[in-house]
Amino acid sequence: MTANPTLASTLDHFGEVILPEERPIKGFVVFFPPASGDKGQQKSEAQNLSSLGIASLLYVPPYRRPNSAGGPANIEGELKNWNDARSEYKEIIGIAQSDLGVSIEKNVVVGKNLGGSVGAFASLGITRCFIATGSVAQLSRFWSESNHPVAQEFRKNFSPQQMFEYRKAMTPFDLTVSLRNPPASSLVQFGSQDNWIEKIDVNALTDVIASRAEIQWTDDDHSMNSDQSRAQRFEFVKNCLAVK
């Protein structure tokens, strides 16, 4: 694998570009990361995909940038992060088409944890291949109601009125909304050991997407980095892009 500076230069403003040696490029994957961490796991997956002639962008979205603002105390900043991600995704796809020669039909979004929710919203109506892995299906409900220790600690910092307004503002970004009309090929992965994933949210998403998207369970935790989870994503991308 070699990175062609000419091809990568217009995309590297948005993150790290991983290009295959093979030409023509057979597809383009945009990885949306968790809110924090990842330990290079998405980069490893991108490198594996490059062996199939697939290029990737390890996107650094607004919520991962210095001085990013949001949350119940700054709802305007929160909304800006999500809307900026959608605007940037459109720009990224345009660059992939013009500079990499990858048609819109050959684009894939892979989002982990928060990245799954942001990726679904950002690519709504644009991408035909989508994966959310380890993503809470109703983030608005999770932060305002869940008994998960992280959610309980989060709420301590805000008044009931702030949480009410935050939930109302965040509801349009829930997967139960953005995946109402899912991309043609969609995969949602949940880990059976992931304590962020609650039955009420999974049931709500299942009711919304019915049979129009695939839901897979693996023996995994919130990182969704087990061999089984990674293999499912690899096969899904390969099949969606019709790459051998």
Report the 10 Å Cβ neighbour count for 79: 15
Q: Return d(Cα 72, Cα 78) in angstroms, integer.
A: 8
3-class secondary structure, 57: strand
Domain ranges across the chain: 5-240
| Kind of pairing between the strands at 107-112 and 54-59 | unpaired
The confidence score (pLDDT) of residue 5 equals: 41
| Kind of pairing between the strands at 185-191 and 129-133 | parallel
Residues 6 or more apart whose Cβ sits within 8 Å of residue 194 = 134, 220, 221, 222, 224
**Burial 104-136, CB ≥16 within 10 A → b, else e:** eebbbbbbbbbbbbbbbbbbbeebbbbbbbbbb
The confidence score (pLDDT) of residue 67 equals: 86
Quote the tokens at residue 200: 């009420």
pTM to 2 decimal places: 0.94
Q: What DSSP character marks residue 59? A: E
Distance of alpha carbon 47 from the chain centroid: 18
Which homologous superfamily does the CATH classification assign to the domain defined by 5-240? Alpha/Beta hydrolase fold, catalytic domain (3.40.50.1820)
Using the structure block, give the residue that is written with the tokens 């050959």.
Answer: 106
Report the 10 Å Cβ neighbour count for 213: 20
The confidence score (pLDDT) of residue 2 equals: 36
Q: What is the pLDDT along the chain (244 residues), one digit of tens a residue?
A: 334 445 556 899 999 999 999 889 999 999 999 999 888 999 999 999 999 999 999 999 999 999 888 999 999 999 999 999 999 999 999 999 999 999 989 999 999 999 999 999 999 999 989 999 999 999 999 999 999 999 999 999 999 999 999 999 999 999 999 999 899 899 999 999 999 999 999 999 999 997 788 999 999 999 999 999 999 999 999 999 999 8
Q: Return d(Cα 89, Cα 233) in angstroms, integer.
A: 21
- Give the phi and the psi of residue 92 in degrees, each rounded to 5: -60, -45
- Give the phi and the psi of residue 78 in degrees, each rounded to 5: -60, -50
